[in-house]
Structure formats: structure tokens, C-alpha cells
Amino acid sequence: MASSNNLPNHEGQAVPNVTFRTRQNDEWVNVTSEDLFKGKTVVVFSLPGAFTPTCSSAHLPRYNELAPVFAENGVDEIVCMSVNDTFVMNEWAKDQESDNVRLIPDGNGEFSEGMGLLVNKEDLGFGMRSWRYSMLVKDGIIEKMFIEPEVPGDPFEVSDADTMLNYINPQAKPAKVATIFTKVGCPFCAKAKAMLEDNGISYEEINISNSGISSRTLRAVANADTVPQVFIEGELIGGSESLEAFLAK
């Protein structure tokens, strides 16, 4: 099946049969396509390189964030694929705290080549890398692919987590996420975090200190000097009392 690009779309076909060389607990472990896909529903997203800007700031984090919602909608595993070696992929997983996504090194580009999506990125000094795409695979057969348009640069328009989730279930409701500014030893901060947890809202915590992120940063983003300051889905809620009132609604 041809895509709207000149890049191949393999919907209805089996994934390439490849053995990936991975490092787990300081030992070499071979992982095969069968290990990844047999008898499972798997979302795969492939990208040009670990630690690169779009991949680190948006592509991987959002899949990691939405992993529980994918699981609720029948997805057994989310796999991130890149033409990088296993050492790079393992370090990237640590850096991204990617607990909900399995990072697989397509070090020799065999899987990407089998997909017909190994492309030359010499202009970026990358050599041969995977084109950015995502796909839904059921028991080794590709049901759906979202392939980025064949335009210069590194397009990121259709292979994102929200597009894939919408395909799987248009009624799926991603859980709310929060950011909370705190200080060590602050009882109101502890109360606010407990409220978020009790309401099933995952959050990132940003600690205010004299070094690093300071009270000046807090004033710049929240127009406030006190902690906690809670944002939900980018909306400033405020301190613990404001959060309690918001959640009561």
C-alpha cells in the first residue's frame, strides 16, 4: 500500500524479522521481533535519534505520559525504535525517566531498512537513520501507520502519541497532568501533592532553592512568591487551598 509520500506504508503486512542487540544488567541480550510482537498489541514509534530535540522534548515524553491510557485501551507495550546503539538508548531512557516505554536499539538499521524507512540524513551528520513514523502492530501484523510527510528537515505532525491514541479510541480521555513548585519541608506542598495523587493526577515536581530554580523563576511563571504553586494542564491553579477548591468542583 503506497502512502501519500513516496515512503512505503506497510499496513496489513508483517513487521521485519530482526534480532536486536541490547544490554540489560550489563549483559548482552538478544531481543527478536517475535519477542516484541508475538501475541501482543504494540504501539511503535520510530525517530531519527536519541537525545535529539524533538525526540526528547515531545515525541518520547508524550508516549511515556500517555502509556497508562494506551494500556486502558488494549495496548500491551509501547516501543520506541531508533538507529542508535544500545548504550545510547539505555542512557536516553535514564535521562528521560522513560519507565513506560521500551527503547529498542536498531543499531544496524535492519528494522528501519526492512520497513523501507531507512533514510540518509547526511545533511545533519547523522548518516543513515529512521524516518519518523508510528504504527499499531497486532500479533506482528501492522494495522495502522502514521508516516511523517516527506518534506525537508524533521517533520513531526502525525506520529505523535495523541494522534495514535485518537486512532485507537477517539473517546479516550488522557489523564490530567500537573506541575507543582515546592520547597523542601513545606507542609502545604506535601498536602497539595497528596491531593493530586488522591485524584489520580500525575505531576512533575520543581523544587525551589537558592541554587538552580529560584524564587525569581516562580515569580516569573506564577506571579507568586509562596509555595506550592500548582499548574494543571498548563493552567495556574495556585496554592493548596486553591487546589482543594479546584478539585472539589
Residues forming the active site: 55
With CA atoms as reference, report the closest residue to 233 among 196, 207, 198.
196
The Cα–Cα gap between 196 and 232 comes to: 10
The Cα–Cα gap between 240 and 229 comes to: 8
Question: Measuring CA to CA, how many Å separate 163 from each of 43, 144, 156, 208?
Answer: 12, 11, 11, 35
Residue 248 phi, psi (nearest 5): -65, -20
* Contact between residue 132 and residue 163 where contact means Cβ atoms under 8 Å apart: no
CA terminus-to-terminus distance, the chain: 49
Residue 210: other Cβ atoms inside 10 A: 6
Helices (H), the chain: 33-37, 53-54, 60-72, 86-96, 110-114, 161-168, 187-198, 215-222, 240-248
With CA atoms as reference, report the closest residue to 104 among 12, 26, 9, 37.
37
- SS3 for 94? helix
